[in-house]
Structure 1
Amino acid sequence: MDESDTAAILPGDVLSATSTGDQMSNSVGRKDEPDVPTTGSVRPPFTCSLPVSVEPVLFLSMFSLALQAPLSTQYLWDRISEDLGYNGTKRSECSNGSVTPDPLQKEVETLTAHWNLYISLGGFSVGLLVVPFLGSWSDLAGRRPVLILPNLGLALQAVVYLVVMYLKLPVVYFLVGRVLSGLSGDFNAILAGCFAYVADTSDRRSRTFRVAVLEACLGLSGMLASIIGGQWRRAQGYINPFWLVLATNLAAALYAYLFVRESVLPDPSTKLLTTRHHKAVWHLYSTGGSSSEGGGRFHRCKLWLYTLCFFLVVTVHFGSRELYVLYELSSPLCWGPALIGYGSAAQHLAYLSSLLGLKIMQRCLEDSWVALVGLASNITGLVVFTVADTTQLMFTGYGLCFLFMAATPVLRSKLSKLVDPSEQGTLFASVACVESLCFLVGSGVFNSLYPATLHFMKGFPFLFAAIILFIPAGIIGTLQCLDQRRDHRESTTS
């Protein structure tokens, strides 16, 4: 069934059982359908009068993740330093290079980086298997379980981290907590559930903006957590901030249980542990999904091409973001904590400016052209970062990137519109796994490229990132031109 045949619903409306229920069991209801009695698994105990649905869930989950990530790295640094007997501190000021590096500090840095890698890979490898299960399962069993279970898993991870800190257990137990979180789907399952929920409860016209609102939630919660986490850790250490991490995850799960209404009609006979869910992911990308009847090959190509665009754009975002602080700390910028904080705030404010710009541009431009404007903003900012040798020039780059987040919500929306309503969970679970892969690839490539190119061009990784972004820009522009030509041909023949 084509997605345009169904109207959007307000968050929380549920499809009632009608004579056509067998054909539309995983679609969303219509705005004009009255509420009907539903089971307790569909309707939450309370209703929320605010015009929000899953945005608070994503905000709280991202807040806890952004709060704990730098704190856990710093804790690993301190614990490994204590175990090795290293009493120095990590230098953050500019150095003239005449000071002999401490070999013990280098060992601490190496071990900290390795443990960070082990912990990230542990969560990623487990989540790569679990998230497709949960995403495809949510298409049949409902979205609410996929919003609740991963938050409980993240809360369990926070409990393990707290036990390690209180008892000063070996840092290998951090890996145990990360794997336990991965078994519940981790943050990627929450991403998949939230974006699939928005796809369920929005029409084709409003979907891009609704997705952009979720993207803005990610940026704002990350900025708030970064500000709070650093100050709190300096004032009270690690343990109290991790209690907030635990409380935030529990609050997200509780909100999803109490206030988020189901957006699909659950099938009580659906099983979680079955190969059917992984087969659904294979079917989606091998055939183009259930909605590709009649033009399957071109439809499938578009699905793969937009996924490739998403991979490249997000890899550049993750990879370049990890270099900003390192670039600003060293010569010739030599920024201190205050300027670095302002730069981070400017970067996160771009989430809001991108949201506003997207809303304005949608009045006169197609989504694809909005994405190209966002990519152009990102490219020009990266080119300026390449040659930035003064504070003014660096902030000019941040200013030029004010629309850099306009491309990713468009790509998510494009992918969502290519698949059937009954495949939204499967799609966004796949996209969430791609996003995790983007983090690993971006971190590995750009952190390796930066030291390798220092001898001839310090800002070369930013130039490399700008060049990479021309690939998705070309793909998006070409597909949009092909779609317009096809629409024009169909209108003239009819």
Structure 2
Amino acid sequence: MVGLYLVEPVLAIYAFSTFLTFPLVPQYIYRRLWQDLTNTTYSTDDDGSRCISNSSINHTNKHEEVQKAASLFSLYSELSSIIPSLIVTLLLVAYSDYRGRKITIILPVVGFLLYAVAFLAISFFELNIYLLIMASCISSMFGGYATMLGGCFSYVADRCDDKKTKTLRMAAVDMVLGLLSGVASLCTGYFLRAAGFNWPIFTAFLFQGVNLLYAVFVLEETVKLPDLMTVSGPLHISLQKLGSAIYQIFALASPRTKTLLVLMLLIFFTFSFSFVGSLSIVTLYELNEPLCWSEILIGYGSALSTFVFLTSFIGVFVFSRFLPNVAIVFIGLLSVVAGLIMTAFAKTTLVMFLARVPMLLSVMPAPVLRSMMSSIVSKTEQGALFACVACLESLSTNVAVAVFSSIYAATVAWFPGFCFLLGGLLCLFPISMLGAVWLLGPDSREEAERLIAEEESLDANNSTPII
């Protein structure tokens, strides 16, 4: 069988399966907690009338109680998975510089399959919902979403030499991620209404099974492996090599480049923390009064939210022709701030949908920052770089969900939109650091000479680093 150098299908199927399941989790937890805490059946009216017809003080108190319990459940789930996910992401993506990118793609798919089986069993047999926390922890030991992204972006960096091509290709990967996740989110509401929770989960499981076959047997490896005898060795030596690869990114760079790289990593971290943390409580916010959205409306909302990946790709494609990367990131951050502020005060379905409009360019910072960082390190350091990026992304995502879930539980009674205002305020930090990046500017000549010298040295030795 002839292999393909196309990693986009893997990420597309992974995104579709993940976002077919992802909106189900808070809704399933919310319904189970509603039944357990109120001893009543959860209403699934399509028009949101359950808020209107049950707008008593007692019903409002029930909503607040379930909201707090659901947000705390999200907190416990994230805390249980954050440490293994960080460790595995860092080691696997850095290790891919030596043993290939496919390991960072295959293992997250396996982890998802295990989580889907656990979710299906809990839903079908109505087991204790807290078993989902254990399933999330086990799944995180295979790397998860951040590992998949780190591996895919390292794969793309291996295939792209031109700086502009790399930016557009990474933006295209983000677009594929967004479009497929949007389609999945749109399908979830109708699928849930028609068939319940079990069939969507089983469908996601089947898609990921196909994805695993493609990744193992069709996808080509971009890192050429040496003989297996040359890569064996004690585990502690392997870990030392991985740590050394990450260290060398900063040790061999000029002071200006090191400063730029640290600043861009901090911008990426704070942006991801603010953006993902705010969006993580959107479903609970939509289930709460006065919106009280049904699963159909939640599906439409999720689809519109992920539509921004397409508009952000168009934005990168257009702006990259006449604007520097720093300006593109700045526009994306302003888009996030405007959208979060509008969401904080959304009290009707129309306004909640319109709040997605200011965020049409909100995904632009991520691929552009990845391209900027990738362009100032050598080809042999791409895996180590994206290991750092993926680790930071995993850390920011998990910590953000835990922090924003706990804050939402504490503020839902008096101002449910507080988390969105907080997310917008936190975006001021990456905006200020972005100004420092613009003032410093990359030392293009010095870094180009360093990268050329390293690559020429690597070609002269004609050898692959040994672990």
Calculate the TM-score normalised by the size of structure 2: 0.81
- State the one-letter code of the partner of 1:88: T
Among 77, 80, 84, the alignment partner of 1:126 is 84
Shift of the 161–198 alpha-carbon distance from structure 1 to 2, 3 Å rule, reads: same
How far the C-alpha of 1:395 sits from its partner, in A, is 4.7
Structure 1: distance between partners of 2:347 and 2:66: 31
Which of 184, 194, 202 aligns to 1:225? It is 184
Q: For 2:307, what is the secondary structure of its paired residue?
A: helix
Question: Which moves more between the two structures, 447-456 or 170-179?
Answer: 447-456
Deviation sequence 1:402-429 (CA, Å, 0-9, x none): 1111111111112222333222222223
What is the aligned partner in structure 1 of residue 141 from structure 2?
A: 183
Q: Counterpart in 1 of 2:423? A: 465
Match runs of 1:12-411 below 5 Å: 45-48=1-4, 53-77=6-30, 86-89=39-42, 93-94=50-51, 98-101=56-59, 112-203=70-161, 204-267=163-226, 268=228, 269-271=230-232, 274-276=235-237, 278-279=239-240, 282-283=243-244, 286=247, 288-289=249-250, 291-292=252-253, 295=254, 297-327=255-285, 340-388=298-346, 394-411=352-369
Consecutive unaligned residues of structure 1, counting only runs of 5 or more, are: 1-44
* Higher deviation after alignment, 115-124 or 191-200: 115-124
Contact 1:291 1:418 in 2 (8 A): no
Residue 164 of structure 2 aligns to a residue in which SS? coil
TM-aligned CA distance change 1:77 to 1:471, over 3 Å:
closer
Whole-Å Cα distance in 1 between the matches of residues 194 and 41 of structure 2? 20
For 2:28 and 2:354, how far apart are their aligned partners in 1?
34
Distance 1:406 1:273, change over 3 A: farther
Deviations 1:166-206 (A, max 9, x none): 44444454344333322322232211111110111112221
**Amino acid in structure 2 at the alignment position of 1:59:** A
Moved more, 463-472 or 445-454: 445-454
Moved more, 466-475 or 54-63: 466-475
Which structure 2 residue ranges, 5 or more long, are not aligned?
A: 448-467
In the TM superposition, what is the alpha-carbon distance from 1:56 to its structure 2 partner? 1.0
In 2, the alpha carbon distance for the partners of 1:489 and 1:263 equals: 28
Partners of 1:275 and 1:202 in 2: CA distance: 33
Counterpart CA distance in 1 for 2:40 and 2:132 is: 23
Q: Work out the CA distance in 2 between the residues paired with 1:351 and 1:450.
A: 26
1:405 is paired with a residue whose SS is coil
Higher mean alpha-carbon deviation, 66-75 vs 187-196, is at 66-75
Contact 1:88/1:105, CA 8 A, preserved across alignment: no
- Provide the C-alpha distance between the structure 2 equivalents of 1:120 and 1:487, rounded to a whole number of angstroms: 40
> Which of the residues 368, 374, 392 maps onto 1:416?
374
Secondary structure of 2:160's match?
Answer: coil
Report if aligned partners of 2:333, 2:427 keep a CA contact under 8 Å in 1.
yes
1:301 counterpart letter in structure 2:
T
The superposition leaves residues 264-295 of structure 1 with CA deviations (integer Å, 9 ceiling, x where unpaired) of 11133335972455545654665544651xx1
Alignment-derived partner of residue 21 in structure 1: none
One-letter amino acid of the counterpart of residue 235, structure 2:
T
Counterpart CA distance in 2 for 1:249 and 1:351 is 22
The share of aligned pairs that are identical, in percent, is: 32
**Shift in Å, 1:304:** 1.9
Superposed CA offset, 1:432-455 (max 9, x none): 222222223322443444565678
1:426 paired with 2:384, answer: yes
Superposed displacement of residue 458, structure 1: 6.1
Instruction: Output the CA distance in 2 between the equivalents of 1:243 and 1:123.
Output: 23
1:483 CA drift (Å): 1.6
Task: Specify whether residues 303 and 396 from structure 1 end up closer, same or farther in structure 2 by C-alpha distance, changes over 3 A only.
Answer: same
Distance in structure 1 (CA, Å) of the matches to 2:58 and 2:38: 19
Structure 1 residues 276 and 441: CA distance shift in structure 2, 3 A:
same
Whose helix fraction is larger, Structure 1's or Structure 2's? 2
- 1:363: Cα distance to partner? 0.8
CA distance in 2, matches of 1:451, 1:127: 25
| Residue type at the aligned position of 1:245 | A
Alpha-carbon distance in structure 1 between the residues aligned to 2:304 and 2:250 = 40
> Which has the bigger relative contact order, CA under 8 A and spacing at least 6?
2
In structure 2, C-alpha distance between the alignment counterparts of 1:462 and 1:114, rounded to whole Å: 18
Tell me by how many angstroms 1:398 deviates. Answer: 2.3
- Distance in 1 between residues matched to 2:205 and 2:159, nearest whole Å: 29
2:179 partner letter: L
Cα deviation for residue 161 of structure 1 reads 3.2
Relative distance call for 1:117 and 1:280 in structure 2 (3 A) is: farther
Q: Which residue number in structure 2 is paired with residue 442 of structure 1?
A: 400
1:259 offset after TM fit, Å? 2.4
How far apart, in 1, do the equivalents of 2:129 and 2:295 lie?
A: 28
Cα distance in 1 for partners of 2:7, 2:282 equals 31
Over aligned residue pairs, what C-alpha RMSD do you find?
A: 3.5
* Distance across 2 between alignment mates of 1:448 and 1:130: 26
Give the aligned residue type for 2:218: F
Task: Report how many aligned residue pairs link the two structures.
Answer: 439
Shift of 1:457: 6.5
Cα separation, 2, equivalents of 1:219 and 1:313: 17
Change (3 A) 1:450 1:428: same
Compared with structure 1, are the counterparts of its residues 177 and 270 closer, same or farther at alpha carbon in structure 2 (3 Å cutoff)? farther
2:157–2:374 CA contact under 8 A, matched in 1: yes
Q: Equivalent residue for 2:460?
A: none
Question: Structure 1 residues 229, 453: CA separation in 2 closer, same or farther (over 3 Å shift)?
Answer: closer
